[in-house]
Amino acid sequence: MNPAFENITSLRAKLAARDITPTEVIEALRARCTQVEPSVSAFNHLDWDTALREAATADASLPLGGVPIAIKDVIAVKGQPCTCSSKILKGHTAVYDAGVIERLRSLGAVPVGRCNMDEFAMGSSTENSADGPTRNPWDTSRIPGGSSGGSAACVAAHEAIASLGSDTGGSIRQPAALCGCVGLKPTYGRVSRYGLVAFASSLDQIGPFTKTVRDAATLLGAISGRDPRDCTSLDQPVPDYTASLEQGVKGLRIGVPKEYFIEGMDKDVEQTTRQALDQLAKLGAELVDISLPHTNYALSSYYIIAPAEASANLARFDGVRYGARVPDGKDVLDVYSRTRALGFGNEVKRRIILGTYVLSSGYYDAYYLRAQKVRTLIRKDFEEAWKKCDIIATPTTPTPAFKLGEKTGDPIQMYLSDVFTIAVNMAGLCGLSLPCGFVQRDSTDLPLGLQFIGKAFDEATLLRASHAYEQSTEWHTRRPVL
């Protein structure tokens, strides 16, 4: 088989047995990218020479020895561009490795490529990129989701064995669902954010995109753990997430929240999700009806909290220390304002303006403080739900992948793409999306995702349920035709 179509588990077995070399894997990926990247545009940057040099010295005896991992262009890899798909950071090169990259390197993995994304991770379609949009491998006239659209698309198109993305309000799970791969958002504090360019610091989390749930468990174990350089990183034990995968779901209580089956969602999405729930019941799980009553307020409160944090975090991009800078500024204020006006895209500007407004004098209590109180209520909803269930199952997205340009003129409709994922970030929980079926649009099959939501730091149960469902279906075995 072409090494590009392998997953981490199968590839590691062949590397360990010396049936294939890390260099041959990189060459196979380069050939695959040459074939399909013009259609998909998943990457901002590819440096095959560096990847081949690192592969040549990779230690195949290590847990991830010789396995190439693609990296979202918001995570620092020393010596590689780190632009966040923004004009304001064009030409910027990372001078250090992020914490997750250090961990991957220590286990023998080879970082390969910079994945395209919505600028500064602000978007749901990977259309807000200074490098142009990424396209869905299943239908290149459609979006791959966002903001980690490049990370999802390259895995789905078999341009990468696996990848890393970031999730602030659904940016791993939503594109994973729309591209037909596995996307895992860890519990807040499980994975170091050191070296992740901040969007909303109380919500951001790094996580993997993979071809199978087992691979997601492997990568999560690799990148998890306390990092003293990230004050939000928690000192929690990191179990072997692959050890409990085969336990199945018999006797597991799976909560089904009524608020996640709403008016206006695509009927095929609801039907497919219901079929997935029936399959879990056949496997021995107990389905429990639950309510998360403050879910309806998650989206609006998120779009107060996240822009407020973004307005503070993005203040550092001022044209003075690094990145783009207008050459003929009259004074410091002129340099600031003109550089940011030219360097940021419209969606980033929109969120900075909104965030600055809700933090301004006279509006802080009315908007930001109230949104934080709603966030507490959302978290308490989940705490009550855990008394009745062990895990929660929902649709990942309200619709299949939509056409490029279909929602760019309507920010509210775009924001609604994350309506089922945002509450997980607001509560600091873990969530995973995996393929659960396909729906036909324009004579093309488009993937849909099932979302599992788990208790804080209980990724093991999340992965156990996901693996049981995955192994009882064939959705994860399908490939897009490119």
When divided into structural domains, the chain yields a total of 1
Q: Which domain holds residue 427?
A: 3-254+386-477
Tokens for 321? 């220390």
Tokens for 332? 């410091």
In a domain, 380, yes or no: no
Instruction: Using alpha carbons, list the distances in angstroms from residue 313 to 317, 348, 351, 355, 376.
Output: 9, 12, 12, 11, 23
Catalytic residue among 86, 147, 166, 466: 147
pLDDT at position 476: 97
Task: Determine whether 147 is an active site residue.
Answer: yes
Catalytic residue among 41, 124, 166, 171: 171
In a domain, 337, yes or no: no
**Residue 308 to residue 355: CA distance in whole angstroms:** 4
Output the domain CATH number for residue 405. Answer: 3.90.1300.10
Q: Which amino acid is at 17?
A: A
pLDDT at position 315: 94
Q: What is the 3-state secondary structure (H, E, C) of the chain?
A: CCHHHCCHHHHHHHHHCCCCCHHHHHHHHHHHHHHHHHHHCCEEECCHHHHHHHHHCCCCCCCCCCCEEEEECCECCCCCECCCCCHHHCCCECCCCCHHHHHHHHCCCEEEEEECCCHHHCCCCCCCCCCCCCCECCECCECCCCCCHHHHHHHHCCCCCCEEEECCCCCCHHHHHHHCCEEEECCCCCECCCCECCCCCCCCCEEEEECCHHHHHHHHHHHECCCCCCCCCCCCCCCCCCCCHHHCCCCCEEEEEHHHCCCCCCHHHHHHHHHHHHHHHHCCCEEEEECCCCHHHHHHHHHHHHHHHHHHHHHHCCCCCCCCCCCCCCCHHHHHHHHHHHHCCHHHHHHHHHHHHHHCCCCHHHHHHHHHHHHHHHHHHHHHHCCCCCEEEEECCCCCCCECCCCCCCHHHHHHHHCCCHHHHHHCCEEEEEEEEEEEECCEEEEEEEEEEECCCCHHHHHHHHHHHHHCCCHHHCCCCC
Catalytic residue among 14, 41, 72, 185: 72
**Residue 158 to residue 181: CA distance in whole angstroms:** 11
With CA atoms as reference, report the closest residue to 129 among 141, 115, 142, 139: 115
Task: Determine whether 455 is an active site residue.
Answer: no
In a domain, 170, yes or no: yes
Mean pLDDT by 10 residues, the chain (482 residues): 95 96 98 98 97 96 97 98 97 96 98 98 98 98 98 98 98 98 98 98 98 98 98 96 97 97 93 98 98 96 97 93 86 90 95 96 91 98 98 98 95 93 98 98 96 98 98 97 92
Instruction: Using alpha carbons, list the distances in angstroms from residue 192 to 201, 232, 301.
Output: 12, 8, 25
In a domain, 167, yes or no: yes
pLDDT digits (tens, 9 = 90+) for 342-385: 999 999 999 999 999 999 988 999 999 999 999 999 999 999 99
Task: Determine whether 337 is an active site residue.
Answer: no
pLDDT digits (tens, 9 = 90+) for 102-114: 999 999 999 999 9
In a domain, 444, yes or no: yes
In a domain, 351, yes or no: no
In a domain, 422, yes or no: yes
Q: Please count the other Cβ atoms lying within 10 Å of the Cβ belonging to residue 331.
A: 7
**Residue 206 to residue 171: CA distance in whole angstroms:** 10
The reported pTM is: 0.97
